[in-house]
């Protein structure tokens, strides 16, 4: 955190100054470790084993916050007797369909709900990253579930959890992660000791957790711990994602994702959501508890905001103008489609996939096979110049004179050169003013899209084609100002907030949304940010002039609520759990919920409220159902649906690992998304043969001195000079083993690429004793590329494409490689080197990645040491893009 | 009448320099125990003061690619990776002597490292943001022959770039090796403690940018108090290595305007253990020179009057 | 330490002292710590101009004393050679000093202030007095070549007197000019310069006398060269005594003066000085031998000046010379308290 988020880290240091104990778990000793009280080295990709160990430690020692767990979680809920755990199936859950590599989740349901599973194992949910839409939804639970408040029922969630995590012992944690048992117990005890009635703990994670083939389950495991310890919905608790850069939260709320519309409304699928009603009902689940019951109003208001006067109840608010998903439109599928010639044009906005995305070679080969590419960025980045100076130009795979892609580079205004909001991890919107005018031709994204839309509409005016109606019917009437006709960002925020169509009056709460076309809302969860016609995100009342919740600084969605599910900060009877952690509580005299924050509960619904038989939507939420967006009002320790790779987290080895999974027969996530494509490959892992060809684990992350793909730091001298060269960090032991010298060159080889870097030999990396053997880990920064003041090979080139099944995030935090002293070859010889490794590793065009682990795949590594390289690599192993 | 301690000893430098309306003496307290090595200070300094680039060299000195304070780097973050602590007593297994309490490298013992977990359990990564010390007795200022270097009303030491003629005398005079000549420019440059910002009531850019309050700016008296308190706290928390550096008005430079809390000996960070302002010995030097001059004159006279041919 | 896979932290951390090869140190420190072996101090940025100036400044001082002596005791050859050399040397000095500035065009900024705490400022004012005086004295030597009538005729009549007065002013200033440079070097944090502050002025005074004497031996007939010989002996004595002191008295900080290039220069200086003095004494009847001796003394002075200069630079470049004595001081204090 000190490395990548030094500014946020000030609060960790502040806590430490006040006596907090700081633990740091990381494959390498970082700037965070340097100021932590305790550092735990870990083998990359094994966090579920560590966290699972914490879950077990809590359960076995009964360290959970039992009253909280009983009242607010599904610990007591009885699960279907058809459910079979990884314990029973050696690493698989019941319902696995080998043909699609996905689960039929019927058997995961609560007892009595077996027929209601939404997901039946077709893989369609995975293609559309359906898991992501539950970021704020919660999944439906059709009817009241059976519970055993004594937690003794063998099929209650609590007991299932105990059995599932029983094997995650401290010994196992040490064996899998390489973390000494005493260090692990110190961590687990400290976590539990700082949770409960009087204390709370927050869990803060970043992309080191998410960018894995089991990334979602990492967070799930953290969530189970936080829920067991009563750290959700309470002050000082929670799970917070530290995003890679500013307003990533905002770009999920108002998404730049193919499967979501603003406010987490799912993008309709062409087969399932033919009509507006089909679509809306798939969101609101008629009969279900919770606030999603009103989603028809949110959806109608969104379409009304899009298409204004043209959108009427009679034409389903122009629902047919909405594009439909047909399958996987994720960024990696897109790249493969580009290589295959299926995609002609591409917009890149503040993104540098040539450096920042996994499998850089595939990214560049894809972009080199377009008709046109628009790049909007602050500087000329690698994704705009790949056609003339990428590694593929050196190898002859891209010939500048023949590259067909026409690249349009349009300079962009930076965040200080335009106004707008940032939404941070606490869902807090903060308005920022423009500080300076953008230089030269640089323009804001708002300007770009507004004027692009305006010109397109001018071109299409009078078009008789129905296909052009969606564009022509859009409301596209933002006021502009200044010499360059900059659209008003406040006007956009106002539209996002929503307004009454008849009067134009801004709405003040999403409960005012209507499904009759009388309201238009750009993003329903943001309703209130422009309440009373005032830009609430621009509020900057000093913390000295308000209480510690600081509700008048900026504006948090929803409804300026700073902590979600804060009903859980009071006990079932509505009383604060403790005076120290008092936050939101029931005031019996006033007959309403009150406290420091906006209560995340119906204001006047008493704790004693019990829904009448047959109630649905909000009315079905009982007075002690704190998790109001969930189908059963409970926090889910066990997720009967919504997570595609299992109702509980299980440790799987990364897609590429030098180790056999010590926990289960199943080696890697059986539902991970693997693209079988000539350009893509996965290094073999045990029990498959030849895994020793790539004996080392490598992981990548950020340096404080650089920003992501380097476009904003390698181009700036005061930053570039602070970390001027690509390097790789190795332990003294690995340096000795591989013959590397400090500040000398090394090159790293995976099945995709070979890159070179200067060597830093440092004690900050250490070999780990894991499952009886020594595992060497290497660390690389991923900031370097061919443009800017400082250049170097891109670490992400080493990665292949393997994705998490829930949200289609790539596994780009761990992989396997070989490392050798000296510089890499250049030109075609580079391809030969990689091809030789592929041949030795048995990566042939015929090979299929073993998704489900079978013993048949076992076998020794026949290829022997790296010295047995063959200089001849047959031409058919150059199975790259080929069409560049 | 100059202060008896004008050349050496405790002194309030601004009034001594002739400021009748001197401000409270301002300075930095850099607490290295909370430094996270983010180098925001280096960048903020360069941006605000428009300091040119200092080269694109990978130095291999941990994460330090700046190397030293130079004419083009007025803040410099030092990185020290310490496999073992300086205090050998802490090595004994089971010893109750508190070694560096920071952290443990792994207890798992890979081959080739058979010295026991203890040798790895005290790995430290020290970071320190170094800067001009703005000495009470600033040798650079004392020896400057043009008056380019001067003492400000805040007690800080600043080079006037329109006066400096690049004689270079201040550079070897500095006992900390701070001030430096800029190549291609010829003049001497160093931290100004953001004199322009101070004058406007602002905070120096580095202190403003520091996220963890490792760099604290304020009246020196207040900072010294705060620092003493911090050292006491760290000692209580089992960090006996914490010590102040440059805080003592009776030290060889009369105390620094920018002083530090260190976790090891100063030389570990590239600081001199016991710097002394060269001007301390100046009266004796002139005396010696006078004697030598007399001897020279006497020898010359003798050569002409004493001989026969 | 040379193992290729040493971690960065170990690299450069500790140094064994005494790697100069076999020489006994009076203070043998076990080991010391530094930051990656980097110098703590900034070595002087002065180029060779300043070392050269140390010589030319001393030469100017020594030869102006020689000139004054010749003037007062009726040895015109010494007077003439001394005055001319003095002007030439002080002119070269001015060139070296200005040339070494980072901003030569701003040399006059030196005259903004007069600062007793700045040896360079003091030196500037010494030079400001000495230079014109030496110049007038030297120009006065041209008086016989001026026409007898007219304005220049007035000059011809007045110049010798002005020259005499100026010569005496220059001579009176000369000892200061020759010795302030010792303070100039010692008035820094450069360990082997600063700690040598008691000796540096003496060495420089001696070197100045010897170089002035060298000019006398070169330029004057044997009959007039007696005072030059005696000056050579006195100068050599001061120089050799001082150099011996700095090479032995300073413990670890003497090391830079005995090793490497500075060590070789100082040894050469010593040999040349001895040879010069010897030649001057035994060759009092030989113009050739006297001349060679004078040349040897001049060369000796050059070598000594460059030796002292580079010895200091070397002591600033190696953190050992900064850390070890200071660490010893701290430890002594800690032990004493």
Pick the residue with more confidence: B114 or A199?
A: A199
CB contact set of A598 (below 8 Å; sequence gap of 6+): A551, A559, A560, A561, A562
Residues B173 and B304 in one domain: no
A241, A261, A289: which is the final residue of a domain?
A241
Cβ separation of A742 and C9 shorter than 8 Å?
no
Report yes or no on A495 lying in a domain. Answer: no
Residues A791 and A805 in one domain: yes
- Please state, in angstroms and rounded to a whole number, the distance separating the CA atoms of residues C116 and A700: 59
In this predicted complex, what is the ipTM? 0.90
Per-residue pLDDT at B52:
96
**What are the DSSP calls for A125-188, one per residue?**
HHHTTGGGGHHHH-----SPPPB-TTS-STTBHHHHHHHHHTT--HHHHHHHH---HHHHHHHH
Report yes or no on B92 lying in a domain. Answer: no
Touching subunits of B (3+ CB pairs, under 8 Å) are A, C
Is the CB of B164 inside 8 Å of chain C's CB atoms? yes
Residues B297 and B266 in one domain: no
pLDDT category of residue A204 using cuts at 50, 70 and 90: confident
Per-residue pLDDT at A169:
98
φ and ψ at residue A64, rounded to 5 degrees: -70, 160
Residues A593 and A567: beta-carbon distance below 8 Å = yes
Per-residue pLDDT at C283:
86
pLDDT category of residue A617 using cuts at 50, 70 and 90: confident
Cβ separation of B177 and C40 shorter than 8 Å?
yes
Q: How would you classify the pairing of strands A406-411 and A372-377?
A: parallel
**H helical segments located in chain B:** 13-16, 40-49, 139-143, 170-173, 195-199, 205-209, 220-236, 282-305
Is the pLDDT at A870 greater than 50? The verdict is no
Domain that holds residue B241: 13-85+119-276
Segment A293-337, tens digit of pLDDT:
789 999 999 999 999 999 999 999 999 999 999 999 999 999 999
Pick the residue with more confidence: A49 or C286?
A: A49
Report yes or no on C35 lying in a domain. Answer: no
φ and ψ at residue A696, rounded to 5 degrees: -110, 150
- Residues of chain C numbered 1-40 and touching chain A (CB < 8 Å): 4-9, 11
CA C129-C130-C133 angle, to 5 degrees, is: 90
Residues B180 and B300 in one domain: no
- Please state, in angstroms and rounded to a whole number, the distance separating the CA atoms of residues C41 and C43: 6
Per-residue pLDDT at C37:
93
φ and ψ at residue A217, rounded to 5 degrees: -70, -25
Domain count, chain C: 1
Cβ separation of B104 and A38 shorter than 8 Å?
yes
Residues A30 and A87 in one domain: no
Residues B172 and B219 in one domain: yes
Residues A37 and A59 in one domain: no
Domain count, chain A: 4
Is the pLDDT at A131 greater than 70? The verdict is no
**What are the DSSP calls for B72-136, one per residue?**
TBSEEEEEEEESS-S-GGGGSTT--S----S----S---TT-TT-GGGTTT-EEEEEEEE---BS
Pick the residue with more confidence: C2 or A760?
A: A760
Residues of A in contact with B57 (CB under 8 A): 724
Cβ separation of C35 and B279 shorter than 8 Å?
no
Q: What is the 3-state secondary structure (H, E, C) of A26-41?
A: ECCCCHHHHHCCEEEE
Residues A107 and A15 in one domain: no
Report yes or no on C27 lying in a domain. Answer: no
Per-residue pLDDT at A619:
86
User: Beta partners for A266?
Assistant: A260
The overall average pLDDT reported for chain B is 87
Q: What is the mean pLDDT of residues A649-676?
A: 96
Residue of B nearest to C187 (CA): B278
**What are the DSSP calls for A507-531, one per residue?**
PS-GGG--SSSSEE-S-GGGTTTTG
> How close A779 gets to chain C, by Cα (Å)?
15
Report yes or no on A779 lying in a domain. Answer: yes
Q: How many Å separate Cα A255 from the centre of its chain?
A: 13
- Please state, in angstroms and rounded to a whole number, the distance separating the CA atoms of residues C176 and C204: 11
Segment C43-89, tens digit of pLDDT:
999 999 999 999 999 999 999 999 999 999 999 999 999 999 999 99
Report yes or no on B224 lying in a domain. Answer: yes
Residues A15 and A112 in one domain: no
Is the pLDDT at C20 greater than 60? The verdict is no
Residues A36 and A59 in one domain: no
User: Beta partners for A745?
Assistant: A758
Report yes or no on C26 lying in a domain. Answer: no
Segment C178-227, tens digit of pLDDT:
999 999 999 999 999 999 999 999 999 999 999 999 999 999 888 888 99
Segment C86-99, tens digit of pLDDT:
999 999 999 999 99
Residue of C nearest to A732 (CA): C5
Range with lowest mean pLDDT among A702-706, A754-758, B103-107: B103-107
Cβ separation of A761 and C5 shorter than 8 Å?
yes
Residues A391 and A335 in one domain: yes
- Please state, in angstroms and rounded to a whole number, the distance separating the CA atoms of residues A784 and A391: 13
Residues A30 and A104 in one domain: no
Range with lowest mean pLDDT among A69-78, A292-301, A795-804: A292-301
pLDDT category of residue A227 using cuts at 50, 70 and 90: very high
- Please state, in angstroms and rounded to a whole number, the distance separating the CA atoms of residues A292 and A284: 5
Is the CB of C327 inside 8 Å of chain A's CB atoms? no
> How close B163 gets to chain C, by Cα (Å)?
7
pTM: 0.91
Per-residue pLDDT at B116:
32
CB contact set of A829 (below 8 Å; sequence gap of 6+): none
- Residue C277 per-residue DSSP state: H
CB contact set of B267 (below 8 Å; sequence gap of 6+): B273, C32, C33, C34, C35, C40, C319, C323, C327
C219, two tokens: 């330029």
Domain that holds residue C191: 48-330
Cβ separation of B267 and C327 shorter than 8 Å?
yes
The overall average pLDDT reported for chain A is 92
The overall average pLDDT reported for chain C is 90
- Please state, in angstroms and rounded to a whole number, the distance separating the CA atoms of residues A854 and A862: 19
Per-residue pLDDT at B117:
32
Percent of chain A with pLDDT over 70: 94
CB-nearest partner of B38 from A6, A178, A717: A6
Is the CB of B265 inside 8 Å of chain C's CB atoms? yes
pLDDT category of residue C336 using cuts at 50, 70 and 90: confident
Question: Which CATH number do you get for residue A381?
Answer: 3.40.50.740
- Please state, in angstroms and rounded to a whole number, the distance separating the CA atoms of residues A683 and A472: 49
Segment A697-713, tens digit of pLDDT:
999 999 999 999 999 99
- Please state, in angstroms and rounded to a whole number, the distance separating the CA atoms of residues A270 and A268: 6
Segment B186-219, tens digit of pLDDT:
999 999 999 999 999 999 999 999 999 999 999 9
Per-residue pLDDT at A630:
83
Q: How many Å separate Cα A426 from the centre of its chain?
A: 15
Question: Which CATH number do you get for residue B183?
Answer: 3.30.70.20
Range with lowest mean pLDDT among A517-521, A776-780, C145-149: C145-149
Report yes or no on C5 lying in a domain. Answer: no
Is the CB of B230 inside 8 Å of chain A's CB atoms? no
Q: What is the mean pLDDT of residues B9-38?
A: 95
Helix axes C150-186, C48-73, angle to 10 degrees: 130
What three-state secondary structure class fits A673? strand
Per-residue pLDDT at C148:
85
Q: How many CA atoms lie within 13 A of B91 on its CB side?
A: 11
Q: What is the mean pLDDT of residues A821-834?
A: 96
> How close A427 gets to chain B, by Cα (Å)?
22
Q: What is the dihedral of CA C169, C171, C174, C176, to 10 degrees?
A: -60
Residues B260 and B307 in one domain: no
Per-residue pLDDT at A143:
66
Range C196-207 burial, b when 16+ CB lie within 10 A, else e:
bbbbbbbbbbbb
Report yes or no on B111 lying in a domain. Answer: no
Residue in this structure with the two tokens 């006021």, named with its chain if needed: A479
Residues B202 and B307 in one domain: no
Residues A18 and A118 in one domain: no
Is the pLDDT at B91 greater than 60? The verdict is no
Annotated binding site of B for [4Fe-4S] cluster: 35, 38, 41, 45, 132, 135, 140, 144, 164, 167, 170, 174, 191, 194, 206, 210
> How close A36 gets to chain C, by Cα (Å)?
19
> How close C3 gets to chain A, by Cα (Å)?
9
User: Beta partners for B245?
Assistant: B260
Residues B137 and B238 in one domain: yes
* Best-predicted range by mean pLDDT (A255-269, B107-121, B171-185): B171-185
Per-residue pLDDT at B6:
85
Segment A455-503, tens digit of pLDDT:
999 999 999 999 999 999 999 999 999 999 999 999 999 999 999 999 9
Cβ separation of B300 and C65 shorter than 8 Å?
yes
Q: How many CA atoms lie within 13 A of A720 on its CB side?
A: 20
Residues B271 and B283 in one domain: no
Residues B45 and B173 in one domain: yes
Cβ separation of C8 and A744 shorter than 8 Å?
no
Is the pLDDT at A577 greater than 90? The verdict is yes
pLDDT category of residue A118 using cuts at 50, 70 and 90: low
Q: How would you classify the pairing of strands A802-803 and A673-674?
A: antiparallel
Domain count, chain B: 2
Domain that holds residue A18: 1-41
Of A586, A656, A576, A590, the C-alpha closest to A623 is A586
A42, two tokens: 């870990």
pLDDT category of residue B105 using cuts at 50, 70 and 90: very low
Question: Which CATH number do you get for residue C284?
Answer: 1.20.1630.10
Phi-psi region of A808 (alpha: psi -120 to 50; beta: other; left: phi over 0): left
- Please state, in angstroms and rounded to a whole number, the distance separating the CA atoms of residues A219 and A378: 33
- Please state, in angstroms and rounded to a whole number, the distance separating the CA atoms of residues A350 and A347: 10
Q: Count the neighbouring beta carbons within 10 Å of the beta carbon of residue C23.
A: 11
Question: Which CATH number do you get for residue A174?
Answer: 3.40.228.10
CA C158-C159-C162 angle, to 5 degrees, is: 90
Q: What is the mean pLDDT of residues C114-119?
A: 96
Residues A88 and A150 in one domain: yes
Residues B77 and B199 in one domain: yes
Residues B34 and B142 in one domain: yes
Residue in this structure with the two tokens 């022959």, named with its chain if needed: B145
Per-residue pLDDT at B7:
87
């Amino acid at each position: 955190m000190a490395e990548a988020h030094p500014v946020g880290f000030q609060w960790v240091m502040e806590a430490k100054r006040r006596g907090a104990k700081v633990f740091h778990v990381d494959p390498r000793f970082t700037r965070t470790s340097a100021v932590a009280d305790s550092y735990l080295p870990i083998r990359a990709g094994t966090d579920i084993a560590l966290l699972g160990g914490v879950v077990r430690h809590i359960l076995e020692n009964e360290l959970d916050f039992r009253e909280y767990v009983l009242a607010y979680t599904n610990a007591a809920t009885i699960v279907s007797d058809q459910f079979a755990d990884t314990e029973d199936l050696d690493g698989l859950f019941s319902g696995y369909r080998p043909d699609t590599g996905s689960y039929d989740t019927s058997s995961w349901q609560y007892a009595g709900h077996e027929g209601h599973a939404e997901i039946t194992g077709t893989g369609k949910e995975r293609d559309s990253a359906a898991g992501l839409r539950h970021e704020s939804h919660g999944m439906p639970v059709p009817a009241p579930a059976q519970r055993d408040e004594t937690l003794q029922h063998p099929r209650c969630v609590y007991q299932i959890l105990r059995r599932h995590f029983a094997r995650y012992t401290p010994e196992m944690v040490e064996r899998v992660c390489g973390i000494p048992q005493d260090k692990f117990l110190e961590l687990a005890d400290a976590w539990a000791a700082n949770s409960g009635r009087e204390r709370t703990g927050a869990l803060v994670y970043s992309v080191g957790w998410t960018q894995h083939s089991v990334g979602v389950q990492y967070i799930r495991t953290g969530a189970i711990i936080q829920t067991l310890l009563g750290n959700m919905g309470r002050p000082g608790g929670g799970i917070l994602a530290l995003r890679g850069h500013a307003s990533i939260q905002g770009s999920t709320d108002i998404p730049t994702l193919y499967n979501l519309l603003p406010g987490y409304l799912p993008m309709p699928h062409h087969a399932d959501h033919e009509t507006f009603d089909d679509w809306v009902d798939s969101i609101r689940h008629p009969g279900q508890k919770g606030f999603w019951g009103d989603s028809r109003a949110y959806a109608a208001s969104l379409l009304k905001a899009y298409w204004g006067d043209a959108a009427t109840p009679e034409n389903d608010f122009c629902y047919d103008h909405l594009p439909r998903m047909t399958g996987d439109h994720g960024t990696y599928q897109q790249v493969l489609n580009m290589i295959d010639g299926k995609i002609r044009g591409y917009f890149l906005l503040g993104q540098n996939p040539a450096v920042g995305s996994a499998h850089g070679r595939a990214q560049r080969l894809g972009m080199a096979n377009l008709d046109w590419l628009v790049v909007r960025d602050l500087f000329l980045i690698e994704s705009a110049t790949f056609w003339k100076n990428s590694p593929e130009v050196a190898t002859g795979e891209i010939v500048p004179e023949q590259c067909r892609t026409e690249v349009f580079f349009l300079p962009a205004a930076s965040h200080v050169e335009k106004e707008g909001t940032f939404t941070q991890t606490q869902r807090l919107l903060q308005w920022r003013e423009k500080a300076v005018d953008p230089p030269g031709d640089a323009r804001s994204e708002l300007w770009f899209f507004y004027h692009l839309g305006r010109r397109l509409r001018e071109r299409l005016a009078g078009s008789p084609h129905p296909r052009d109606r969606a564009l022509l019917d859009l409301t596209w009437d933002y006021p502009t100002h200044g010499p360059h006709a900059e659209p008003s960002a406040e006007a956009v925020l106002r539209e996002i907030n929503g307004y009454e169509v008849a009067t134009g009056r801004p709405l003040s709460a999403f409960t005012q949304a209507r499904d009759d076309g009388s309201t238009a809302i750009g993003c329903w969860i943001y309703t209130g940010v422009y309440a009373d016609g005032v830009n609430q995100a621009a509020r900057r009342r000093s913390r000295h002039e308000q209480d510690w919740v600081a509700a008048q600084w900026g504006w948090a969605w929803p409804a300026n609520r700073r902590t979600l599910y804060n009903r859980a900060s009071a006990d079932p009877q509505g009383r604060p759990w403790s005076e120290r952690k008092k936050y939101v509580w029931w005031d019996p005299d006033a007959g309403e919920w009150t406290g420091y924050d906006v209560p995340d509960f119906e204001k006047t619904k008493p704790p004693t409220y019990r829904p009448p038989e047959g109630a649905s939507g909000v009315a079905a939420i009982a007075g002690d159902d704190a998790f109001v967006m969930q189908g059963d009002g409970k926090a889910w320790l066990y997720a009967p649906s919504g997570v595609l790779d299992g109702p509980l987290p299980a440790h799987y080895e990364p897609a590429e690992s030098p180790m056999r999974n010590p926990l289960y027969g199943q080696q890697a996530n059986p539902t991970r998304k693997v693209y079988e494509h000539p350009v893509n490959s996965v290094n073999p892992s045990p029990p498959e043969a030849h895994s020793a060809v790539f004996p080392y684990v490598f992981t990548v992350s950020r340096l404080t001195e650089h920003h992501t793909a380097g476009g904003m730091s390698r181009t700036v001298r005061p930053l570039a000079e602070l970390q001027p060269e690509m390097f790789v960090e190795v332990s003294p032991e690995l340096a000795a083993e591989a013959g590397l010298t400090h500040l000398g060159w090394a090159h790293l080889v995976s099945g995709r690429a070979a890159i070179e870097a200067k060597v830093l030999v440092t004690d900050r990396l250490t070999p780990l004793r894991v499952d009886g053997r020594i595992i060497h880990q290497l660390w690389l920064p991923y900031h370097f590329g061919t443009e800017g003041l400082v250049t170097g090979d891109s670490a992400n080139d080493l990665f292949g494409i393997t994705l998490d099944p829930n949200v289609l995030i790539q596994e780009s935090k761990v992989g396997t490689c070989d490392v050798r002293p000296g510089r890499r070859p250049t030109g075609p010889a580079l391809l030969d080197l990689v091809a030789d490794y592929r041949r030795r590793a048995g990566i042939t065009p015929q090979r299929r990645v073993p998704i489900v682990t079978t013993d048949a795949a076992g076998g020794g590594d026949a290829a022997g040491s790296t010295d047995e390289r063959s200089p001849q690599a047959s031409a058919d192993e150059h199975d790259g893009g080929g069409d560049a | 009448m100059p202060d008896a301690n004008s050349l050496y000893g405790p002194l309030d430098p601004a009034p001594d320099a002739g400021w009748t309306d001197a401000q409270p003496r301002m300075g930095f307290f850099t607490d290295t125990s909370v430094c996270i090595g983010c180098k925001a200070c280096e960048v903020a300094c360069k941006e605000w003061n428009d300091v040119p680039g200092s080269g694109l060299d990978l130095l291999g000195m941990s994460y330090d690619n700046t190397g030293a304070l130079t004419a083009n780097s007025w803040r410099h973050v030092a990185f020290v990776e310490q496999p073992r602590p300086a205090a050998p007593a802490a090595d004994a297994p089971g010893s109750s002597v508190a070694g560096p309490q920071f952290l443990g490298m792994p207890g798992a013992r890979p081959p080739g490292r058979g010295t026991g977990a203890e040798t790895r359990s005290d790995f430290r990564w020290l970071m320190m943001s170094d800067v001009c010390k703005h000495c009470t007795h600033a040798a650079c200022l004392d020896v400057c022959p043009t008056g380019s270097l001067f003492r400000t009303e805040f007690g800080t030491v600043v080079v006037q770039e329109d006066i400096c003629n690049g004689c270079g005398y201040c550079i070897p005079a500095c006992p900390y090796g701070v001030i430096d000549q800029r190549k291609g420019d010829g003049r001497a440059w160093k931290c100004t403690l953001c004199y322009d910002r101070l004058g406007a009531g602002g905070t120096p850019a580095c202190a403003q940018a520091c996220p963890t309050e490792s760099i604290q700016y304020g009246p020196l008296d207040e900072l010294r108090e705060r620092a003493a308190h911090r050292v006491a706290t760290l000692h209580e928390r089992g960090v006996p290595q914490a010590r102040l550096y440059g805080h003592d008005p009776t030290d060889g430079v009369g105390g620094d305007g920018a002083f530090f809390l260190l976790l090891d000996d100063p030389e570990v960070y590239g600081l001199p253990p016991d710097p002394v302002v060269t001007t301390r010995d100046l009266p004796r030097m002139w005396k010696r020179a006078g004697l030598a001059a007399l001897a020279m004159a006497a020898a010359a006279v003798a050569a002409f009057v004493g001989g026969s041919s | 330490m040379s193992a290729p896979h040493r971690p960065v932290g170990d690299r450069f951390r500790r140094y064994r002292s005494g790697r100069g090869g076999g020489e006994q140190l009076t203070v043998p420190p076990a080991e010391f710590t530094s930051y990656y072996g980097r110098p703590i101090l900034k070595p002087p940025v002065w180029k060779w101009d300043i070392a050269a100036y140390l010589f030319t400044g001393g030469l100017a001082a020594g030869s102006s004393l020689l000139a004054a002596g010749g003037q007062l005791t009726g040895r015109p050859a010494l007077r003439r050679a001394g005055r001319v050399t003095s002007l030439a040397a002080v002119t070269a000095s001015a060139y070296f000093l200005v040339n070494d500035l980072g901003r030569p065009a701003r040399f006059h900024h030196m005259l903004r202030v007069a600062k007793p705490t700045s040896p360079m400022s003091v030196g500037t004012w010494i030079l400001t007095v000495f230079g014109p005086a030496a110049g007038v004295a030297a120009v006065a030597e041209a008086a016989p070549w001026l026409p007898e009538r007219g304005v220049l005729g007035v000059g011809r009549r007045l110049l010798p007197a002005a020259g005499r007065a100026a010569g005496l002013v220059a001579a009176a200033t000369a000892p200061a000019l020759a010795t302030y440079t010792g303070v100039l070097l010692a008035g820094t944090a450069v360990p082997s310069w600063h700690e040598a502050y008691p000796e540096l002025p003496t060495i420089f005074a001696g070197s100045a006398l010897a170089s002035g004497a060298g000019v006398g031996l070169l330029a004057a007939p044997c009959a007039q060269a007696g005072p030059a010989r005696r000056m050579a002996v006195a100068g050599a004595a001061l120089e050799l005594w001082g150099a011996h002191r700095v090479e032995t008295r300073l413990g670890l900080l003497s090391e830079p003066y005995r090793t490497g290039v500075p060590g070789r220069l100082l040894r050469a200086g010593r040999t040349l000085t001895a040879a010069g003095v010897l030649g001057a004494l035994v060759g009092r009847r030989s113009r050739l031998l006297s001349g060679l001796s004078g040349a040897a003394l001049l060369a000796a002075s050059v070598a000594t000046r460059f030796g002292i200069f580079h010895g200091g630079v070397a002591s600033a470049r190696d953190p050992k010379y900064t850390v070890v004595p200071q660490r010893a001081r701290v430890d002594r204090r800690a032990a004493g308290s």
